[in-house]
Amino acid sequence: MVVHATSDSGAAATPRPGFNPLREATDRRLPRIAGPCAMVLFGVTGDLSRKKLLPAIYDLANRGLLPPGFSLIGFARRDWTVEQFTGEVYDAVRAHARTEFKDEVWRQLAEGFRFVSGSFSDADAFRRLKETVDAVEAERGIAGNVAFYLSVPPSAFPQVCGQLAEFGLAKPPEGSWRRVIIEKPFGHDLASAQELDTVVSSAFNPDSVFRIDHYLGKETVQNILALRFANEMFEPIWNNNFIDHVQITMAEDIGIGGRAGYYDGIGAARDVIQNHLLQLMALTAMEEPVVFDAAALRAEKVKILSAVRLPEDLAAATARGQYAAGWQGGVPVVGYLEEDGIPADSHTETYAALRLEVDTRRWAGTPFYLRTGKRLGRRVTEVAVVFKPAPHLPFSRMAQSQDSRNAIVIRVQPDEGVTIRFGAKVPGTALEVRDVSMDFGYGNSFTEASPEAYERLILDVLLGDPPLFPQRDEVELSWRILDPVEEFWAGLGAPEPYQAGSWGPDSGKAMLARDGRVWRRP
């Protein structure tokens, strides 16, 4: 069963209470367009830039959301001319852009391309960058507004931020803005996260620091808020009186690929749970904000993260594993320890699962199970809200499946949408109840394709709109949750192996079995 989104039309309705025709005259469906500005992209030759950032900038231009004078300044060690840089951007756009290629859009966008060659330690390179920004200001009318995207390893942040401050690039001229965008990981524990924030904040105002968590830019993640707070039917049952537990899963069917240098020593929990999954948990569990702005949304997420409690028995409430050789998609694959660049004695986990409690009136007694892993059964990210069984069945218990539970499943990727699972009678003379699903899919209900997460997030930076960006207090609270788990795991030795293509180690299944529950198989 597919539910299609529709809109009511026809006879005029009675004005709703509080209706103000002057306020409503502004059509909120109209897109917001960034004002005059430029972006300096560090790490422009990396995979993230080629596959995500550069295509997203083109897609924004193609949708008419960038100003005509927008300028993109690439910074890298390559000894490129502007023409060579333009060619590299062109190749990235043609290979990875979401929207169709239009010559007129490309020509206008490419007029604003500039390139500065140099290393992060090269003072002359940053002097040339300052001259380039000043020239773009004179030629393109960017009004002094510049965003600096640090698509570089966190170890390079101090050097880059120091150089930007040294040459006056971090301080905005009167009436303009300067912003910095940093990618995760935001440290590898609480102490390093605090140190990183000190470094970045020494150059930029804290309100001008945008931490990118690309999961928060996904349409389906934002739809968690719409599902909960724009629909009266869900809020009365969104609590521990009706909800048995919540499962949040991010599973990947791939291995580490060429990321050995980054991934080994970091692991699944630091890579995914500390940021993506705890943010999904906060959005699922938070109270309704008074208004949808950055401060109100952050305040509610911080309340949830502050209320998270780790169980005392971490051996029973956590699980970790490391994929071994197996089969994936009918193809034999090697184990983690056989991957290129991985030490034979590595204890880095590729699967991590946690059981968390939220000590609030709404959620007391309702556990949240978080899991992530590589080389699992399939690629999927979802939030599954599983309800308690019916307290009384007026028909035979044999008429209904023993493990039948109502559930609301928010699918973040790859098939974005929402599924509601409930029991229905099987056609026939016997009274037999079987689980069925009612499904909403973005692809079925809306004609416009969902924008890539980076499109939304880059535009929000240029607009100065920060609701979807985790702030310092959220990052630190997330590390306070994860650090004790990492310290506990550090004393356990090697993670439990699990076969590639499976759904993780036995310890992950046992973690739920102790509570009389099982993981969903997406």
Positions annotated as catalytic residues are: 276
Q: What's the residue count for the chain?
A: 522
| Bond into 185 cis (ω within 30) | yes
176, amino acid identity: S
Inter-residue contact 454 to 52 (CB < 8 Å): yes
Tokens coding 47:
């995979």
Phi and psi at residue 425, to the nearest 5°: -70, 135
Pairing of strands 318-324, 380-387: unpaired
Q: Say which DSSP state 239 is in.
A: S
Concatenating the DSSP letter of every residue in 94-154 gives HHH-SSPP-HHHHHHHHTTEEEEE--TT-HHHHHHHHHHHHHHHHHH--TT-EEEEE-S-G
Residue 450 C-alpha from the chain's centroid: 15
Tokens coding 507:
């310890």
Inter-residue contact 383 to 409 (CB < 8 Å): yes
- State how far the Cα of 495 lies from the Cα of 498, in Å rounded to an integer: 9
Q: What angle do CA 485, 351, 421 make, to 5 degrees?
A: 105
Q: What angle do CA 102, 104, 109 make, to 5 degrees?
A: 95
